Structure 1
Amino acid sequence: MTDEKIKNSNELEFAVFCIENVAAKLGVNAARVYQAFTEKSDILNGYIVPEYEMLHTQSREYIVDDLFDMMKEKEVEV
């Protein structure tokens, strides 16, 4: 996985979508998920952004489950 920055509004909207939906499933504030995805891990710039083209075509459930798997793999807690 590469470390990529958000390049356009579509990627930004998708990143917000991912963070908000993970937060909703966990029942926590989205700011905590953002912190987990950026400060405690590289999930945002190392996974969500580089894999945007593939991920954004999937269902919300698939995306959230995939991000939960990534959090488990990287041992990231919110």
Structure 2
Amino acid sequence: MNKETFSFVIYMIHACANKWGKLPSEVYHLLSKADCIDKFLVLHFDVLHTQSTSYIVDDIKEYLEVRGVNL
């Protein structure tokens, strides 16, 4: 993972934490558990980083829900 992708992942963890009322560490754990970081955020970085934060947070929520992760 390069620096730009890493910064994007950290930004999205904090954006999700703010939207969902959770600590960033809790969000990181949820995303890691569902393999969302590597198989969604990093894998699709080229497309995702051009979208709005709100749109990506909603996509992450849907990704987690499909995989049975409760927020």
TM-score by length of 2: 0.93
CA-based RMSD: 0.9
- Counterparts of 1:5-24 in structure 2, within 5 Å, are 7-24=1-18
Task: Name 1:68's counterpart in structure 2.
Answer: 61
Cα deviation digits, residues 23-75 of structure 1 (max 9, x gap): 1111010000101111x211011111000000000011111111111111111
In structure 1, runs of 5+ residues without a counterpart are: 1-6
How many correspondences in the alignment? 71
What's the counterpart of residue 59 of structure 1? 52
Higher helix share: 2
Deviating above 4 A after TM superposition, structure 1's stretches of 4 or more consecutive aligned residues are none
Structure 1 Cα separation of the partners of residues 39 and 56 of structure 2: 15
